[in-house]
Every structure is written in structure tokens, then in C-alpha cells.
Amino acid sequence: MCIIGQAVSEANVAEAASIWARAAARRDGRSGHTDVASALAGIRRRLALDGATLTLARRDVRAIGFDLVAPREHVMEIFYVAVDPDVWGDGVAGLLLQDARSRARVAGCRTLELWVIDDNHRAKAVYERAGWLSTGETQPDAASGRAERRFIRHVDALAHGRHRDSSTNAGAGRPVADA
């Protein structure tokens, strides 16, 4: 089981930064080198945005993934989605994306958006499997200078108080089975 829940403590922020640093190091082939301090600064900067929320996925008591989102007018932007490399392929990213979509729906946002490093083929495949579409827009990442690509996902409206996507049972603090 995986529990998805919103996180608010400094310890939760530190757990998220550690996950991001390990995942980025593995993605970039930097074994043994994790830059937790930079990850922590980036996460704190995004958490300072109006309405920003950090959500952790846990297996037992261990944090295994997180996302960080902030709403803008009719759009929920996902600034971070990261999964501990030890559980890559277990469906955690998909659960976090489902949960972010549910939160966007509740917030009245019509679209989700994110930017992903363009050569991060693993992440792009996860997004595409979850129904995200590349807009074709690219820009240099401010921190690394690497090209990043914009993806969007439209949020379905509520139908009679229930989600149209009945397979989505992710929600703050609710257990969900790994995909």
C-alpha cells in the first residue's frame, strides 16, 4: 500500500529534497553524488508561492515520492514530481499524478502543466501513459541550462459530485494500491 498525504513540516520538506536529490542523481548518472542543499532551496522557493502544497507518498513510514504544486488562474502547475529510485516502476509517480489531478479539479483548475528535462525519457513516458501531452514548447532550465519541455493534462469536470475517472481513488491521506 501507498499512502498519499499533504505534508507540512520541515522534516517532510527535507524528505522531499532527499528524494529529489537521489532521483536526479540517478537520472543523470551521478552515482553517489546527491545535492540535497540545492533541492531543499528549490523546494522551499516553490513552497513560498501562494497556494503551494507538498504531498508525500509513503510506504509504511518511509517517504517514497512527492509532488509540489501551486495553482494559478485555471491552471495547476506541478513544479516537482519525484520518486525514490529504489521504487521506480512501482506506479508511485502515476498515483501522485492522479492525486494532483484530483486536487486541481477541487481547486477549480481546468489544466495541469509541468516542465520536464527534455532528455528525461523515463519521466516523459510516465506522463504520456498518464494522459499528458507535450505542447512542443521548450525552454532552457534556469538551474541547469538543459532544455525542458512543457506537458499539459486537461482536468475533467466533476460529474454529479463524483469524478468521471472512477479509477482514481487517490486523495489526501487515503490509501491507494500501487499501480
Catalogue all structural domains in the chain, each as residue range(s) with its CATH number: 2-176 (3.40.630.30)
pLDDT at 30: 86
Average pLDDT for residues 22-49, to the nearest whole number? 89
- DSSP state letter for 85: G
Q: Can you name the residues that pair with 72 across neighbouring β-strands? A: 75
pLDDT in tens, 59-112: 999 999 999 999 998 999 999 999 999 999 999 999 999 999 999 999 999 999
Residue 173 DSSP SS3: coil
* Cβ atoms within 10 Å, residue 63: 18
Terminal-residue alpha carbon distance, the chain: 10
Q: What is the pTM of this model?
A: 0.83
Closest C-alpha among 99, 80, 38, 88 to residue 64? 88
